[in-house]
Every structure is written in structure tokens, then in C-alpha cells.
Structure 1
Amino acid sequence: MGLATKAQTYADQPFLQDSAEKFSLEEGQGNLALHQIASDRNKAIKLLSSQGLMLPYEKTIRQDVQYRPLIDMNIVAMTQYQGQFVYLTDKAVLSNAWAGKVYIKHNLKAPKAMGIGPDLLTLIAGEGDFVVFKNDQEIWRSSIDNPKPISVQYDPNSGQFLLLTADGLYQIDGSSKLARKVFSGTNLTALTLHDGSIVLGTTNGVQVLDRKTFVPIKLDQKLPWTEITMVKNIRGSLWLGSTKGAFKLREDGKYDYYASKRWLVDDQVVDLAEGPDGSVLVLTQKGMSKINFAPMTLAQKAEYFQEIQRLRHIRYGFTSDLSMRTPGDLSTGYFHDTDNDGLWTSMYLAGELFRYAVTKSEDAKQNAYEAFEAMERLTALPNLKGFPARSFERDGYEVGLHANGFSEEWRKQWEKENGRIWQLSDDELWRWKSTTSSDESCGHFFVYALFAELAPDKEWRDRAIHQIKIEMDHIMDNDWYLMDWNGKPTAWGKWNPDYVNSFPINVGDRRLNSTLILSFLQTAYHFTQDKKYKKGAEKLIKKYGYDENANRPATVIGFVEGEDLSNKWNHSDDEMYFLTIPGFVNYSFSEEQKEAHFNAAKSHWEVERSEKNPLWNYLFALTGGKNIDSEESAWWLREFPMDLIDWKIDNDHRKDLTKIAPNFRSQTYTEVLPGDERTLHLHNGAYRNNGGSDGKREYAPYIYLLPYWAGRYVDAIGAPQVE
């Protein structure tokens, strides 16, 4: 499976990787309301609540008892001045900085908001009145029509204050003692200054005003959500909070969207603030999130995921997801089998083989050998001459198909018709999982071929070749079927011509299964030089048209009335196809056949290209593909979330995305969303923008590790460039 071409190389320079730390209110704090959040120059974070000051601590929010006098004060608002906290109470504006000398008694009956300018020029707004102080001295006290101020901000360009109410914006000049309403609106909620504009949040979008003239520029409603609760200029970037999450305006005019429990405790944003070390603080009804932005290369991201993979995603050498008894609580995590343990393990193993080939890491080799032994045992336990089990577990601890999306009723019906799914091993200590599908075979042949090429030790390479041989022999000896313990073909392990050619040419399984079995046979012949495999392939080609099936362009695949396998595009088929094409193309029997196989693979890649999946791109590069969209692949890897918990995510409400009509490929929008804004899925899923679960599963990080190291192997990703 040697590298056939050198792809365009992405320079792996540090980018800002975002991730979230979340802090939740504890049980018993349900009646507590959170109002504001801020951070000071000492990196302290404080939250203002209906019960005083709070602070984040070990994923929770606790009462702040550091300054005992503040506990007894009725704090109604807080802000920051020169990097220090300043508080507004029902009696005064005060701070504990500057030796505690700042204390401005305001004499307002119902103070609500304050703003501070140079030299502690301070405006305090109450219900119906306001007061301006300079050098601790009152210089003007007056009133406005609307009695409920929302926000006060000092504009350094004009040297005047802006005061926002629900129905208007006021400009207040303390020096000339002039207050005027400069904009009338409805349902205004928030105020900030950004570039040359005044940005006002509303319950239905963002109103942008010219900063000098206050003339409306636009009402922007093409937002992830339009019910705006907060707007903030944070380090020059415009951030918006809403009742459905937070979002940041990008330079290209689109938004980075932070919503769901991947990012926030809940989606009802109350406040936003600049946090320590380049972070952004998002206060919500039930807690706060600290969105961190840290310089990171793709290689460093791979190191992060490798540690997680080894720490909590290895079960008997298999790659395993982690299930949790308590949502999001990794300490309650436990392992169980899946239907595709061999497939997921083969994908992690392939990544480690690529890592070894690139770095010669002994750790990568050890990890690869450990995973190989787990896969090797899949054919040893059944004692069915090369039949691979789906998984294995100690007797009495097996879970069953119903744990993987199938109902208990379905399992019982299956067992009634076909016998028990889990079979006892000869030593009666283990159970192995039957009903193996073609997905597993794809992973096995892909990674055993890779192992036979890249493993450094001949003894181990020979073991991989042995696995190729016995699994291929099983299929050939059983008339092109995976034959289960009960003497029946498994539901999906079928490559017999009667099955394959029973489908119309535009049903994907006809093309796919022909491709798979030819690739398996070519792989077996390549490594063993046993002519029976070549003869078997030639029989399928000449007598049953398998080359013709396999070489049809992917554009022929479409909907066929009455065919269950063609009601929509199957992304599991994509996964099987791309894992198979390196052997399908590179181990072709002739140059003429190789060219035809390559063109077929290219047609499939072209169909999938819009999804920007780096794994498809890099596997296509292994076949000789050029111009494989290296930048798009790197974008996918950069945007892949650091949090791999299966949180429920919904984008259906978004007004910044353009929907398209329901279609065969199940594509929802005109553009592919970045990975950290949509639900997590394996490489056998795509266009899944909504869904997810209750946070009781952490995906295994091989989803990132395989494409990253495949990209390094085909030189589509360069070595990290860190100064």
C-alpha cells in the first residue's frame, strides 16, 4: 500500500484551539439568579448573583467569602476599571483596589447600572434618575423618561456616556450637563461599541448604529439566533449572547457558534466578559463557561487525543467508547462491546502504524501490536476457520446488540430466529459476538495489509499476512459468504454473485460489495502470491461482471423505488469504500486495471469532496490521488472538538445558515458546519448537524488520530512548526 504520490502539504503552524471549562450551580442553588460576570488583572473571576458574589471552583460555583464586608453589602452591579473590580451597591460605588480608597456615595433610591470613564468619571443610573461623579464629587444629577436603565458605557471617542433602556439609547454629557435620546427602538437588551459602530442587542436581532451620528446602519437578523441578551466587544471581537447560546463574529462575516453542553452549562446566556489568558467568560442561567483559546498545532492536538485514547479508550486492546452512568462525568465511565469493535480498532491501529512510519516511535509500535493482538483473537475464539467475531467479552459480562442502537425486542426476535448472538468459547471463559458484517471485514483487510507493509518485525508482518489468508479462505470456502456458527450467512457478510447482482446497478451495495471482494482478493494475492486468489477474482470479473460493477462511477448511485438499500446515501458505505480503495487500486493485477480502479475511486472521492473529510482525502492520496484539498482537510482537523462527549446538539433554529431542500445525500445546509458546532459522529456519518445524546458517551479519539497520522504519512500535513 505504498505511497503513490506526494500530496500538497499543509504547514502545521499553531492556531487558536478553543475549548471549554464549565462550572455549574450546585444542587440547592436553584433559586439563585446569576446576573454578571467579570475578571480582573489578577485573573480572578467573580460572578454577581441575587445572593451576592460567587466564584468558580472545581467545576462548581460557590459563594465568594474572601472580602467579608462585601458579604453584608447589597451589590447590584459590577464592572472593571484599570483591571480592578468596581462594585455598585444600593449605597455607593466602591472597590477593594487602590487601598480601598474608592467610595462614592450616590444617594440613588434604586441604582441599576454604572459606567466608568477616565479618572473615575462615573455615571450611575437608577430607576428614573442618574448621577455623574468626577473625582469623587457629584457634578450633575438628573432624570430620563424611561425609568429602567439596562446598561451604561463610556465612549472614549466622544468622551460621553451612553445609557441604554428598553426603548432607546441616550447620550449623556456630564461636562455640559446634557442628556438626549439619540435612538428610539423597541425591545432593546444590550449595548457595546465595536469598531466605528454602536451595537445594540434586541429580542429580534442586532441593531447597528453609526457611532458618531447614531444613524441606523442595519438590523442584522442573519444570526445563529436573534433573541439577543448580551453584546460585548472582547479584545476587538464582537461577541453576542442569546437565549440559544453565544457566538462570535468572524472576519468573513460569519459566526463561530458556542451552544449545547459541549460549550455551555445551558444555552440561556446572561452575560459575557473578557476572561484571563485570552479566554472569554460566558455566564448562563445555571452556571458559567470559560472558553479558552490556546495556541496549538495539529500535532499537539494529536498528542492530547493520544493521551485520552490510552487513558480511557482501551478495552482488552480494542478501541472502545466510554459509557458513563452520569452524564458528562468521566469518573463514572465503563467499557462494553460494540458491533464494530474490530473496525474501530483497525482504524486506531492504522493510525498508530502511520505514526510509526512517520516517527519510528516505539510507543506507536507497542500500541499497534497490542491492538493487533486483540484483532487477531477475533478469529481465534470462534474456531470457525477464519471467521472473525465482532467482539469478545468474559462470559457473563457480554452486553448484546441492543446496546448499540437495537432494541431488546429486536435482539429477542433475532435470537429466536437465528440463535444466540454471543457464543461460548472452547475454554468456556469467554463469549464471542457473532453476526459479523462486511464493515468488520473492510477494517480487517485494510489494516492487515497496512500492518504487513509497515510493521518493523517480520514475525509480526507474517502474522498479519496469515490473518489475511485465513479470512479470505473462509469467504472463498463458504461460497463468498461470512458463514456464522449456525451455518447461515451473516446479514451483511455477503459477496456471492446471486446476492450482489440481485441489486440494480444504481443501488450502492452492488458497486460496493464488488469493490470490497475484489480488493480483498487482490490483497490476499499481493501478500501470499497464491494464484487461487487471483483466479477467484478473475472468475468474479469475467463470469459475473464484478469489475464492471466496481468500476461504475459513484454518480450512478441513486434512489431506486422499492429498494431498502437505496432510500438515501449511506455514509457507512463511504467508510467501507475508502478503507478498501488503497488495496483496490494499489494491488490491482495490471496497470490497465489499476487505472480503471483509480478512476472509479476518484469518482467516489469527487462525490464526497464537499464534506471535507480528511480521512477520505488522505486515503484517496494513498491510491495516487492529487489535489486532495489539504487546506479543507486541515480545517476539519482544526475545528474538530476537544470535548468528545456525545452531547445533544441542535442547529435547526439557526438563521445564519441557508437550508436546502431534502435530498438523497441528507445534506441540510449549503455549507458543511465545523465539527465543534454539530453533533459528533464516527467517519461513517456525515451531514449530521442535529442529534447527539444525553452526555453518557465519550467517543474514542481515533476519529481524529487516524486522519491526522494518515495525513502525515502521505505528506499532506507537515511536521509541526513551533517556535
Structure 2
Amino acid sequence: MKKLFLGFCLLVGFTTIAQTVADPPFMQDTADKYFFEEAAENVDLLQIASDRNKAIKVLSSHGLLLPHEKIIRQDVQYRPLLDMKLVALTEYQGQFVYLTNKAVLSNAWAGKLYINHNIKTPKAMGIGPDFLTMIAGENDFAIFKNNQEVWRSSINNLNPISVQHDLNSGQFLILTATGLYQVDSDLKTVKKVFEATNLTAFGFYGDTIVLGTTNGIQILDRNTFTITKMDQKLPWTEITSVKNIRGSLWFGSTKGAFKLRDDGKYDYYASKRWLVDDQVVDLAEGPDGSVLVLTQKGMSKIDFSPMTLAQKADYFQEIQRLRHIRYGFTSDLAMKTPGDISTGYFHDTDNDGLWTSMYLAGELFRYAVTKSEDAKENAYEAFEAMERLTALPGLKGFPARSFERDGYEVGLHANGFSEEWREKYEKENGRIWQLSNDELWRWKSTTSSDESCGHFFVYALFAELAPDKAWRDRAIHQIKIEMDHIMDNDWHLVDWNGKPTAWGKWNPDYVNGFPINVGDRRLNSTLILSFLQTAYHFTKDKKYKKAAENLIKKHGYDENANRPASVIGFVEGEDLSNTWNHSDDEMYFLTIPSFVNYSFSEEQKEAHFNAVKSHWEVERSEKNPLWNYLFALSGGKNIDSEESAWWLREFPMDLIDWKIDNEHRKDLTKIAPNFRNQTYTEVLPGDERTLHLHNGAYRNNGGSDGNREYAPYIYLLPYWAGRYVDAISAPQPE
């Protein structure tokens, strides 16, 4: 059964129609990172492995290391190993096997595996069936069976990188930087089967041998050793490791790790979201389906766990409540120590009302879907914080950006403005932070249109979905006083100093002062008409309808708002038209349900919907679920439900603002610089690009050094909006 957006639907005969995507468990990837804090310049991390007991060992140039409580430290479990010079580490039959300068040994099998190899400078080892073992060193190698040597030979200038046993042929392969050697222990022959340069690693994958190089990969037929493919279309081409892990082909590189997908593309794991650093040294199969990634400065354990979108929402809801609520506002968490949640603290932003409105909307949708008392309580708490934004200034409906206890305000300037701008503004107009009448609080002035947009969006939703009439009436009161403030001040937000704020302007002289190709002319007309329609819808006060009709008839606001989004473009000399403004998209889509569904007539509604659809078509390639679900609430039918679910599945579990760079990637096709700031021919998954709010769109590079954790509402709102419009099913059993 399709859910109805109450007033948006029942009172105007509107029904949402979306294609429902089932929500069975999918494999959600997360990363645990372990840092080698005792690392010195002369200590190198070399190899990593895991055994059937779920133990993880790291081989370094100074012996074995052990990951524990996010730290890698010296492994002292087996004291004899501390006195041995370990050269290589591998896993065989679920047990650790070590190569030292003197022997191959293991502490498993009662310690019975012990081979004195007498290789002068051992480098690598490989183990086949029944403990058939090969050790290769500089220029020579030896093969052992039942702990006894069966053959020894030499190869001029042999400098082995890796030794592996090929189960298909029953023979060993030795990789060097210049070629691949096949060793037949039965016939006691060795031959160079492939010659190349700059080889770094190899692994078996089906009927092929995959060779890593310093500039891409080469794929050989496993039987003939002929090249079947050479590939440089990779996330990065300087390969350090090639591993077949549970049937999936993984690569390590000097710029992260990546896994080949079934569709021929790659899942890319780089940046501190996934790895301690991006210089991958080794890869290995880890415990419980995980993958171990060893880098120069530590290791990561990438886990894959079945999870539904609903379970993901539950996880984020817990994080939201635990560390992202400030006075009822939704707040990011700043961190004194980058990446360390325990050092997190709250501070104000320019858009506390807007971000809170988006979390509040998600909780209203959750309540409508589940009737959860917890969702209702959270919504009411957030509403009270927003309600106080107009109470503290005492300016008859003027909403502050934020508030904080006197003396503790942090954000001294409006977002997007320089310190020079702030100093100039304060010199001419006074402090941006104003003292409340009780002299206990400061409220933040200079409020912009995006704050008003969030307020009208969520107050309308609250008036529709909140279960208690007294609370609904409070939301309607907020709509009324904020609308009255704008109307009483000639279509401006007027600050404490009697002057319009920089961006709170809907006055005809301002709006129509822009050419029709500038987005603000279309956007501001849409916003103010939607605000007036919302006020009229809930209060039935004809002054709002009359004011809207005046803007339409005398100043062409309907004509402005109904222009298709395709008219927006670059206009010479207009600073607001240098590029497409994706923050405007956020304002636009939050506004469209009211803009369409509270239209004054069916004719107007159809025109408004066509304008909205034109904007959605432009934004469609982003696969943004929030835009798609809000479009559904505005009457959209084919809303790309599967693409929206993909966006939610690929959304990262780690919400820390890590610095991410995709500029080097060779598996992506770049496009020419363009008005919409698109970089590639496709939208990257959320866990492979920098985190951003819904106004980020194509932002693939950037971020910080982990100085903040984003509030999870950026997932929660689209998820619960999707559930509300029935574009996402309830969680399905596995």
C-alpha cells in the first residue's frame, strides 16, 4: 500500500507513486585500522597473514608484530621467534609458517615442520600439497619433501620476489622483476616462461596468472604463459600486491587497494577512511570474511557484514543520538585530535536550523512509517530547538542561524565569507552574534534564505505528520510568524540592525534584477511562492494568497519559477552564475513538495510540477535519493528507486571528514571542465569520495585531515523519506 503525504496528499488528492526496491541484506564494508606507533625509520612492515584461530601476524624487518586495540606492537607470544631472523611469513592449511635465515618452521603441527634450508640469502618460500616446500634466495633455490631436500639448483642473477605453487600444473613459479620461472620438481627442470620488466607481484585467478607491474597489470594464460590482456585502466597502476582472496581479485598499490568487481570495475579502498596510509605493502585473507591490508604505517581489516538499509539506519540513528545533538540541534562533531572521536566537541554553524530541519524531517517520516515513540520524542526535541531560533531574537518572526551560551560561540563569521568580510561587516553593522534579553545566550544573525527554506519545509511536514494537535499548531504558528516577518519587511529577512541580510531577499527589485539565466531568479521566485502557498494552506488567511498573486501578476514570479531548469547557465559578469550552485539544488528540492502540492489551482500545480520535473531531470545523474524521494512527494513517478538504493548502500559507515583524492585514478573517464562541475562520466560511490552534505553533488576530492564527524542525518533523511514514499521496502529476511 502506498503511503500518503497527509495534507500534501489527502487534502489535495495527491498520491505518491514510486517503484519499491526490496531491502534484503547486502554486504556492507567497514574498516578497522591499527597503527604502528613504535615505527622507526629503519623498521619496514613486510607481510601480513591470518590463521584459522583468527590470529593476525605482521612481519616486519625487526620481527613479528601483533595488532591489538588499534595498535600494532611487538609479538612476544613465542619467545624462540624473538631470537630468530625472520625473512618471510605465509599461511598454510590455516597455520602460520615462517622462513628464517636458517630454516622453514611452524609452531603448529606440534612444531614438527622444521626444514634446514642452507640457502645463503633466502628471500621467499612457497608450499604445495603435503608440505612440498620451495625456498628461493639470491641465485639459488631448493625444494624439500618430508623436511628433506629433494633438489637444489641455481639461476644466474636470481632475485626472487615471490614463490607460489600452482595447483593446476603441480609446479612452482618464481617471480622476479624481469620474468616468471617455472620449476618442475619431478623432472628437476627450471625455465623462464615469461620475460618482462618492472614486475612486482603475481597471483592466480581462474585460468589466468595476473602479474602486477610498476605500470599496470599483465594477464597471462595459465597454461601457455602468453599475454591475454594488458591493463592500465586501474585506480592506480603502481602495483605492490596481487591476491586471490576467496575468489575475488585484489590489488595493492602505492595509492591504496582495490578489488575487481563482477562488472569489470573496481571497489577502491584508499584514504584514512579505509587505510592507515595508502602505501600498500601486502594483502591477505583475514578472519570472518575480512581482508587484511598492510601498509607502510599500519594495517586495516576490511570487514564485510550482511546488513539491510534499515539496519544501517539503526546504526546511524544511534550515532546521531550519541554524539550529534546540541541543545536539540543536529550538530557535526569537531575533534581536537583528528580522527579521535573521544576528543569531539560541539560548536555552532551558520545553518543549524537547516541541518536540524533535515534530521527532524527524517524523524517525522520515521514516525509516519513506524509510529515509533522514540521518533516522535526526537522530532519534538528538534522542533523546540528550531522554535527557539525565532524566540531569542525577539524580532517578530526573524529566525536566528543558531544560538549558544554567551561567551562560548565559535563561528564568528557567516559560512562562505572571509575573515576580511566579517571584520568589514562588523565594523559597519556590529557583531554577528547578538546578546539575548536575559543576557545568558548569544544568537547568530545574518540569516540566509537556505535557513528559511529548511524552516518552511519542515514546519509544513511537522504540521502534517506530528500526532499531537497542540504541537502541529505550534508549527503552523512558526510558519505564520516567519511569513509575516518577510511580508512586513518588503520581502526581506531584516536583521536586528534594521537592514536586510545578505541572502534573505525575495524582493522583486532584487529577484528580477537577475537575468533569467541566473539560478537565483528562478530559485527565489520558487521559494517565496512556496512559502506563501504553505502559509495559506495551513492558516487559510487570504492575505498570503493575495500576496502570492500580486507577485505573480505584477512581477512575473510564476513565470520565473516555471522556467525549465535548462535555462540556468553562465552569464557574463554575474558572480552567481559562474557555475551551477548545488546548494541551490538543496534549497530547491526541499521546497518542491509544498511548491507543487499547495498550488492554488490544478493548472498552476501542473505548471509547477513541469518546472520541478525539469530540475529533477538535470539532477538525475547524481543518483541522489533525497532528490528522488522529494520528487516522488511532488508527484514524480519514475524516480530511479534502484539508483537511490545504490546510493544508500554505498554510503560510508565512517562519517569522519577524511581527505580523499581521486585525481590520479586511471579507471575513471574524465570529462572537460563544465558548468555543473562534473568530473567524470559516472558518479562515484559515496564511500570512494569525500563526504559532503546533499549540496556536494560531484565533489570527488577534498575533505580534511579528520577534524570532524558529519552528523548521520545525511543518510537518515533520505532513508526514511524512501520508506515513506514506499521506494524502499521494510527490511527483508536474508
Query: TM-score, length-normalised on structure 2?
Result: 0.98
Q: Is residue 2:351 matched to residue 1:340?
A: yes
User: Is 1:7 matched up with 2:18?
Assistant: yes
Contact (CA 8 Å) 1:34, 1:285: kept in 2 or not?
A: yes
Q: Deviations over 1:419-464 (max 9, x none)?
A: 1100000000000000000000000000000000000000000000
Structure 1 residue corresponding to 2:248, chosen from 228, 237, 240: 237
Structure 2 match to 1:476:
487
Q: Does 1:598 align with 2:609?
A: yes
1:521 aligned residue: 532
Q: 1:313 pairs with 321, 324, 330, which one?
A: 324
Q: How does 1:120-519 map to 2 (within 5 A)?
A: 120-402=131-413, 404=415, 406-519=417-530
1:399 to partner: Cα distance: 1.3
Which segments of 5 or more consecutive residues in structure 2 lack a partner in the other structure? 1-7
C-alpha displacement of 1:145 = 2.4
CA positional deviation for 1:400:
2.5
CA–CA distance in 2 between the matches of 1:410 and 1:240?
Answer: 48
How many residues are paired up? 723
The equivalent position to 1:537 in structure 2, one of 540, 548, 562, is 548
2:632 is the alignment partner of 1:621? yes
Distance in 2, matches of 1:563 and 1:419, equals 29
Q: Is the 8 A contact 1:4 1:623 kept in 2?
A: no
Determine whether 1:661 maps to 2:677. Answer: no
Cα deviation for residue 410 of structure 1 reads 2.8
Deviations 1:597-646 (A, max 9, x none): 01100000000000000000000000110010000000000000011111
Does residue 76 (structure 1) correspond to residue 67 (structure 2)? The answer is no
Structure 1 position 403, deviation (Å): 8.2
Q: How far is the alpha carbon of 1:272 from its aligned partner?
A: 0.3
Call closer, same or farther: CA 1:715–1:212 in 2, change over 3 Å: same
Q: Does 1:679 align with 2:690?
A: yes
Deviation at 1:32, TM superposition (A): 1.7
Q: Is 1:557–2:560 an aligned residue pair?
A: no
CA shift, 1:144, in A, is: 1.3
On the 8 A contact 1:9/1:630 being kept in 2, the answer is yes
Distance 1:360 1:108 in 2: 72
Deviation at 1:136, TM superposition (A): 1.2
What CA deviation, in whole Å up to 9, does each residue of 1:484-533 have, x standing for no partner?
Answer: 00000000000000000000111000000000000000000000000000
Q: Alpha-carbon deviations, 1:15-51, whole Å to 9, x = none?
A: 0001110001115544321000000000000000011
For the residues of structure 2 that align with 1:472 and 1:249, how far apart are their CA atoms?
Answer: 54
Cα 1:403/1:695, change in 2 over 3 Å: farther
Paired amino acid for 1:147: L
Q: Is the 1:400–1:421 contact (alpha carbons within 8 Å) kept by the matching residues of 2?
A: no
Q: Structure 1 residues 629, 52: CA separation in 2 closer, same or farther (over 3 Å shift)?
A: same
Counterpart contact for 1:338–1:401, Cα < 8 Å = no
More displaced, 624-633 or 394-403?
A: 394-403
Q: Structure 2: which amino acid aligns with 1:237?
A: S
Q: 2:722: which partner in 1?
A: 711
Alpha-carbon distance in 1 for matches of 2:42, 2:113: 32
RMSD: 0.9
The match for 1:586 is: 597
Aligned partners of 1:228 and 1:242 also within 8 Å: yes
What code does the residue aligned with 1:417 have?
E
**TM-score under structure 1 normalisation?**
0.99
The residue number in structure 2 matching 1:611 is 622
**What is the aligned partner in structure 2 of residue 47 from structure 1?**
58
Aligned pair partner of 2:127 in 116, 134, 151? 116
Q: Compared with structure 1, are the counterparts of its residues 552 and 39 closer, same or farther at alpha carbon in structure 2 (3 Å cutoff)?
A: same
128-137 or 609-618: which moved more? 128-137
- Cα distance in 2 for residues equivalent to 1:401 and 1:60: 38
Contact map agreement 2:414 2:422 (CA 8 A) in 1: no
Q: Secondary structure at the match of 2:84?
A: coil
Deviation at 1:402, TM superposition (A): 4.1
Check conservation: 2:34, 2:71, Cα contact below 8 A: yes
Give a deviation string over 1:572-617, Cα, whole Å, max 9, x none. Answer: 1000000000000000011111011011000000000000000000
Instruction: Report if the CA contact (8 A) 1:339-1:401 is conserved.
Output: no
What SS class does the counterpart of residue 572 from structure 1 fall into? helix
Give the equivalent residue in structure 2 for 1:88.
99
Distance 1:403 1:127 in 2: 65
Distance in 2 (CA, whole Å) between partners of 1:197 and 1:28 is: 38
Give the distance between the partners of 2:414 and 2:268, measured in 1 at CA. 32
Measure, in 2, the Cα distance between the counterparts of 1:147 and 1:214: 20
Task: For residues 129-175 of structure 1, give each alpha carbon's deviation from its aligned partner in whole angstroms, at most 9, with x where no partner exists.
Answer: 00001111111000112321000011000000010001000000111
Distance in 1, Cα, partners of 2:270 & 2:313: 24
Could you tell me which residue of structure 1 aligns to residue 3 of structure 2?
none
Which amino acid letter does the alignment assign opposite residue 646 of structure 1? D
The aligned amino acid for 1:36 is: Q
Matches of 1:385 and 1:27, distance apart in 2: 60
**What is the letter of the counterpart of residue 93 of structure 2?**
Q
Percent identity over the alignment?
Answer: 86
Partners of 2:254 and 2:421 in 1: how far apart? 40
Cα distance between partner residues in 2 of 1:506 and 1:248:
44
Q: Give yes or no for contact 2:39–2:297 (8 Å, CA) kept in 1.
A: no
Contact kept? 2:151, 2:185, Cα under 8 Å? yes
Q: Is the 8 A contact 2:690 2:703 kept in 1?
A: yes
Residue type of the alignment partner of 2:260: L
